[in-house]
Amino acid sequence: MSGMKVALAEARKALAEGEIPVGAALYCGDRLLWADHNRREQLHDPTAHAEMLCLREGARQLGDWRLQDCTLYVTLEPCPMCAGAMVMSRVGRCVFGAADPEKGCCGSVYDLPADPALHGATVWSCGEGAEESESLLRQCFQARRAP
């Protein structure tokens, strides 16, 4: 199963649990290190974004905080916190589905990984799985706005 398909499956779990439907999967080469989804409501933790959970567990499994040989697949463009964590952990690559024009920091609002002051090495690409990612987000917010 591709990395984005795993991330999308996690996003569907988040939606079913009442979380914002964002999923992520961290791979080192072809090896899936960890897949998770947003758990902020469940854990009462503002940092429990899918990306952060994957980075923490992936580093633990590798026994190293340096994730330069890893690819992070995520259904929504990383926010400032998650983009910063990717840079600080030296994630080699990030592939995300839907752009986030409000908080996205991999090209939409800001391109944090490309900021020369941070000496980042994370490269990113977008669009894979965007249609399903956007659909899950729409479902979530329509349900929250319903009377």
Catalytic residues: 51
Bridge partner list, 93: 71, 123
Alpha-carbon distance of 97 to 41, in angstroms, equals 23
Alpha-carbon distance of 50 to 23, in angstroms, equals 6
38-73: b or e for each residue (b if 16 or more CB lie within 10 Å)?
bbbeeeeeeebbbbbbbbbebbeebeeeebeebbbb
Contact 54, 68 (CB under 8 A): no
Contact 74, 24 (CB under 8 A): yes
